[in-house]
């Protein structure tokens, strides 16, 4: 191709490139909320959230945060966005939103709800509280979410004892403590059934040391009795057995042994 012919191709390529660019710009998504008032954005976001459209509600709440920055409506948008993220299965994002809210607005009248919602997010975030039902290796499960949930509910109950959310938070705290203790005991039982008697004793002792007045401690003592017996440590076995008889004189473990694995999950204590 001659130099002149090559040069004649340049304008054509340039036009094609410009045409593609213009075409690309014409397909840019239009912001339909551009002319909306903050109140209209909020109403639309709420409608989406109330109808289960959490993925549509979140970006609207985010737009509202920017449009109404520094106003109570922006704070409400943050809280509602966290709830939409939580209900939409985005637990990590919900926690991040709530942490940001509490950092930016420590004196907000919605602080009690923020703590309650943070507790709920962790409470439902696959805590693994009853992971033994899935026959998974209990020793590999992480209970951080349950403990984080407890701390949020505890802070709520301490700072806002008269909050409308505190009674439910207290009930959930009791459930978490019982469940965490049951988790420790089921791990101890896992070790016991596999002949790891020292590990079973150690895990039972963790439950007895860290928790008070929870149903799972009855089985913790029984596991220790059985483990000491299996190890031939008769003195410790008898001492632990006396403690168990005194603490749980009507214990079915003493008469029937371990509960059947076919028992329903709600019979774990």
DSSP states along 54-107: HHHHHHHHHHHHHHTTTSHHHHHHHHHHHHHHHHTT-HHHHHHHHHHHHHH-TT
Domain covering 37-104, topology = 1.25.40
List the chain domain ranges: 37-104
Range list of H helices, 124-251: 144-159, 166-193, 197-210, 217-230, 234-247
Report pLDDT for 140.
Answer: 44
Tokens of 25: 């710009």
Q: What is the mean predicted confidence (pLDDT) over 154-175?
A: 96
Residue pair 227/200 in contact (Cβ under 8 Å)? The answer is yes
What is d(CA 78, CA 104) in angstroms, rounded to the nearest whole number? 11
Report pLDDT for 256.
Answer: 84
Closest CA to 188 of 261, 132, 235, 234: 132
Give 233's contacts (C-beta < 8 A, 6+ positions apart). Answer: none
Q: What is the mean predicted confidence (pLDDT) over 163-189?
A: 93
Tokens of 204: 């039972």
Please state, in angstroms and as integers, the Cα–Cα distance from residue 102 to each residue in 61, 116, 122, 175, following that order. 17, 12, 16, 26
Report pLDDT for 150.
Answer: 94
Highest mean pLDDT among 119-133, 135-149, 207-221: 207-221
| pLDDT exceeds cutoff 80 at 5 | no
What is d(CA 106, CA 269) in angstroms, rounded to the nearest whole number? 40
């Amino acid at each position: 191709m001659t130099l002149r012919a090559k040069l004649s191709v340049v304008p054509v390529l340039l036009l094609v490139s410009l045409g593609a660019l213009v075409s690309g710009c014409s397909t840019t998504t239009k912001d339909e909320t551009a002319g909306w008032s903050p109140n209209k954005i909020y109403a639309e976001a709420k409608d989406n959230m109330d109808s289960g459209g959490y993925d549509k509600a979140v970006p609207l709440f985010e737009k509202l945060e920017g449009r109404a920055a520094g106003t109570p409506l922006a704070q409400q948008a943050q809280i509602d966005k966290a709830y939409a993220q939580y209900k939409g299965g985005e637990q990590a994002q919900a926690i991040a939103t709530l942490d940001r809210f509490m950092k930016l607005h420590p004196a907000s009248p919605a602080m009690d709800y923020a703590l309650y919602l943070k507790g709920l997010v962790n409470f439902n975030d696959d805590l693994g509280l009853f992971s033994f039902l899935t026959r998974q290796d209990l020793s590999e499960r992480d209970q951080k979410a349950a403990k984080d949930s407890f701390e949020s509910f505890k802070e709520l109950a301490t700072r806002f004892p008269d909050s409308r959310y505190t009674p439910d938070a207290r009930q959930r705290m009791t459930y978490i403590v019982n469940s965490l203790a049951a988790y420790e005991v089921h791990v101890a039982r896992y070790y016991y059934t596999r002949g790891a008697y020292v590990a079973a004793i150690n895990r039972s002792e963790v439950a007895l040391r860290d928790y008070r007045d929870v149903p799972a401690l009855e089985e913790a003592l029984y596991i220790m009795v059985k483990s000491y017996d299996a190890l031939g440590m008769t003195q410790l076995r008898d001492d632990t057995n006396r403690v168990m008889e005194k603490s749980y004189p009507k214990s079915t473990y003493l008469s029937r042994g371990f509960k059947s694995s076919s028992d329903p999950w709600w019979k774990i204590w």
